[in-house]
Amino acid sequence: MREPVPDPARPGSKAQRRQPFQQLRDAGLRRRLLNLSPHTVKRHLARILERLELASPGEAADWYRKRQGSQHRN
Residue 58 inside a domain? The answer is yes
Residue 16 inside a domain? The answer is no
- Listed in sequence order, the residues at least 6 apart from 57 whose beta carbon sits closer than 8 Å to its beta carbon are 24, 45, 49
Residue 67 inside a domain? The answer is yes
What pLDDT does 35 receive? 81
Residue 22 inside a domain? The answer is no
Predicted TM-score (pTM) of the model is: 0.50
∠ CA 43-48-52 to the nearest 5 degrees?
150
Half-sphere exposure of 53 (CA within 13 A, CB side): 0
Residue 46 inside a domain? The answer is yes
Dist. CA 38–CA 64, nearest whole Å: 23
Residue 36 inside a domain? The answer is yes
Residue 15 inside a domain? The answer is no
- The count of domains in the chain is 1
Q: Which range marks the domain in which residue 52 is found?
A: 30-73
Residue 37 inside a domain? The answer is yes
**pLDDT tens digits along 19-64:** 766 776 777 777 777 787 888 888 988 998 999 999 998 898 898 8
